[in-house]
Structure 1
C-alpha cells in the first residue's frame, strides 16, 4: 500500500493545520465521499433524540416565565438556510439572520438571546460533525494543533472583544454604520485576496503568527460592530495556510464556545428574575440544528477545490451587503 502522506498530488499545507484532513480528503473516491461514516450516523441519531427532548423541556420550562415561546415556520426556514451556509463556509448566520428578524418585526431583546443560544448549540454540533466527517481532526490527548488553535482563537478573541466593547462604550465616538461598513470592507478585501491567491495558484505556506493577529482582530470586530467574527477568523486561517475545510470546522467550534458564554449569561439573567425574551429560540434552534447536521456532510462531499473559491467568494458577497447596509446605500 502506498504511503498516502507522501503523495505529491495531495494539496496539504506543509506542516500546517488541517494536514490530516487534507490527506484523507485527497484520497477519497466519489463513493467514499457520499457515504456517511457509521459513527456520524450514531451521533446524529442520539443528538436528534436529545434535541427533541431539550426542545420540549425548554418550551415547558422557559416559556412560561419568558412570555411564551413559539415555532414560526418562516423563521425556521431562514435559520436553516443561513446556518447551512454558516456551517459550510464559516460565516453568515448572525450577520444575515439578525437583520432579517428585525425586518420581520422582532425586537433585539428577542433576537440576541435566540442567536447566541442557537449558535452555541449549532457551532459545537457542527464542529463535532466536521470531525466525524473527517473535515478536521480534533484530538484532545494529547491536544493536536487543531485543538490548540481553537483554544487560541477563543482566548485571544475573548480578550479583544472585552477590550473593544469597553472602549466603544467609554468613548462612543464612532457611528455604528461606519463601524459595520469598516468591518465589511475588510471582509471584502480579504475575500478578494483569497480568490486571487487561489486563481494564481500561490503555494500554501503555514504562517502561525498570522493567526494571532487575525484572532485579535476578529474579537475586536465583534466587540465594536457586533459581527465579523466568522468571516475574519475563517479567511484569516485560510490566508495563514490552514486547509479550507478544517478552517470552517475550527471556526464553527470556536464560535460555538464564544456564543455559549453569551447564551449562559442570558440564562443567568433569567434565573435571577431579569426579563429575557426566549420567544424565538425554538424556531431559530430548530432551523439551525438540522442545518448544522447537513452542512458538514456537504463539506465532506464537495471537493476542496470548490471550497477554495466558494468560501472567499461568499465572503465578498457578505462584505458587499454589509457595506450597503452599513452606509445606508
Structure 2
C-alpha cells in the first residue's frame, strides 16, 4: 500500500488505515457511501482485528457497566417469569436474545421480527410482556451497537455540517420510523386491532421477496459498486414505518435491504439500521411510559433476560462486521433475511 493511500498511525497506537474517499465517484455523479468501512476492508486481517488502545479501554469500561447493570436489574421489583432460574432471568430467553441480537447488529434485522413470534408463539409469553420489553431492549442495544459500529469504523456518523450520506440516511429513516413507532403503541392501547395472521403472512412474503431479490442483486451488481440514490430510501423508510405501525415486524429487513437497493455500502447499511431502530424504539418507549403514566400497567419481566443476552451481542456483532471482508459480508444481509422469512413461515404454518 503506497504512502498516498494510507493515513499515518494515530498517536495512541492505532492501526493506520487507508485515506477516506473524497465523497464522489470518479465521474462526480454520486456520493460514495461507506468510506470508513471501505478503508478498513482494504487492510489485512491482522490489522482489521487490531483495535486502538482507547477503543480497548472503552470496551473494558463497557464490560464493567454490563456487570453492574445486570446486577442492578436483579434488584428491580419485576414479575418472575416461569422457567426463571436466577431472579428474573430465563436461560432460553437470554440465549435467544444473544443469537438474534448478534444477527440484528451484524445484518441490521431480525431481533424484533424473528424473536417476537418465538416469544409469543413458541414460548407462550403475553404480548404485554413481549412488546414493551422488546422496545426497551431494542432501544438500548440499537444505540449501543450503533456506537460500536462507529467505534469499529463500519460507519462514520458526522454530527457537524456538511453531513455525510450515512448521517442523512439515519435522520431520514429514524424520522419516518419514529412516527410508525408512536402509531403502533397508540393502536395497541386504543384497541385498534389488525388481523395478526394476515399481517404475519404479509411480512413473511415481503421479507422473502426482498431477500431473494437482494441476493440476485448482490450477485449481479453489489451495492458497493452501485450508484447511490438516496431518494429511494424515502419509499423504503415509509414502508418500514408502516410495518412498525401495524405491529407486524419487518422493520429491519425493509430498511437494511432498502439501503442496498439504494446503493448504500453493505456494512454501513447494517450500522445505519441499528442506529435508526434504536432511536425509533426510544420514541416508542417514551410513548409507552406516557401511557403508563395514564394508568395502564405494563409488564417488563422479560427485560433482564433480553438485556443479559443482547448487550453482549451488541458489542460482539459490530466487531465481527469489521473483521469479515465485504466480499463475503455482502451476502450476509440478504442471506439472513431469507432465513428470517423461513422462520416466519415455520411459526406461521408449522407451529
TM-score exceeds 0.5: yes
Looking at structure 1, the residues matched to 188 and 74 of structure 2 have their Cα atoms a distance apart, in angstroms, of: 36
What pairs up with 1:196-207 in 2 under 5 angstroms? Answer: 196-201=216-221, 203-207=225-229
Describe the shift of the 1:35–1:189 C-alpha distance in structure 2 as closer, same or farther (beyond 3 A). same
Looking at structure 2, the residues matched to 109 and 168 of structure 1 have their Cα atoms a distance apart, in angstroms, of: 10
Partner of 1:16: 32
Describe the shift of the 1:254–1:295 C-alpha distance in structure 2 as closer, same or farther (beyond 3 A). same
Q: How many residues align?
A: 322
CA apart distance, 1:230: 0.3
1:226 to 2:242 alignment: no
Partner of 1:51: 66
Looking at structure 2, the residues matched to 169 and 121 of structure 1 have their Cα atoms a distance apart, in angstroms, of: 23
| Cα deviation code 1:67-125 (max 9, x no counterpart) | 35611222111111111111111111112222222322322222122211111111100
Q: In structure 2, the residue corresponding to 1:111 is in which secondary structure?
A: helix
CA apart distance, 1:271: 5.8
CA apart distance, 1:207: 0.7
Question: Where in structure 1 are there 5+ consecutive unaligned residues?
Answer: none
Residue pair 1:114, 1:278 contacting (<8 A) in 2 also: yes
Looking at structure 2, the residues matched to 176 and 231 of structure 1 have their Cα atoms a distance apart, in angstroms, of: 19
What pairs up with 1:142-181 in 2 under 5 angstroms? Answer: 142=161, 143-160=163-180, 175-181=195-201
What pairs up with 1:70-85 in 2 under 5 angstroms? Answer: 70-85=88-103
Partner of 1:192: 212
Q: 1:67 aligns with which of 79, 88, 91?
A: 79
Q: In structure 1, the residue corresponding to 2:227 is in which secondary structure?
A: coil
Q: In structure 2, the residue corresponding to 1:2 is in which secondary structure?
A: helix
Partner of 2:83: none
Looking at structure 2, the residues matched to 44 and 271 of structure 1 have their Cα atoms a distance apart, in angstroms, of: 36
Residue pair 2:110, 2:340 contacting (<8 A) in 1 also: yes
- Considering Cα pairs closer than 8 Å and 6+ residues apart, tell me whether 1 or 2 has the greater RCO: 1
Describe the shift of the 1:185–1:39 C-alpha distance in structure 2 as closer, same or farther (beyond 3 A). farther
What pairs up with 1:88-127 in 2 under 5 angstroms? Answer: 88-102=106-120, 103-127=122-146
Partner of 2:308: 286
Partner of 1:182: 202
Looking at structure 1, the residues matched to 106 and 271 of structure 2 have their Cα atoms a distance apart, in angstroms, of: 8
CA apart distance, 1:270: 5.1
Looking at structure 1, the residues matched to 297 and 186 of structure 2 have their Cα atoms a distance apart, in angstroms, of: 24
Q: In structure 1, the residue corresponding to 2:231 is in which secondary structure?
A: helix
Looking at structure 2, the residues matched to 59 and 230 of structure 1 have their Cα atoms a distance apart, in angstroms, of: 30
* Aligned Cα root-mean-square deviation (Å): 2.9
| Cα deviation code 1:111-169 (max 9, x no counterpart) | 12221111111110000000111110111123332222111111122335556887999
Residue pair 2:184, 2:247 contacting (<8 A) in 1 also: no
Question: Where in structure 2 are there 5+ consecutive unaligned residues?
Answer: 6-17, 81-86
Q: 2:338 aligns with which of 284, 297, 316?
A: 316
Give TM-score scaled by structure 2 length.
0.82
Give TM-score scaled by structure 1 length.
0.87
Instruction: Name the structure where helix makes up a greater proportion of residues.
Output: 1
Residue pair 2:196, 2:248 contacting (<8 A) in 1 also: no
| Cα deviation code 1:168-190 (max 9, x no counterpart) | 99997963212221222122121
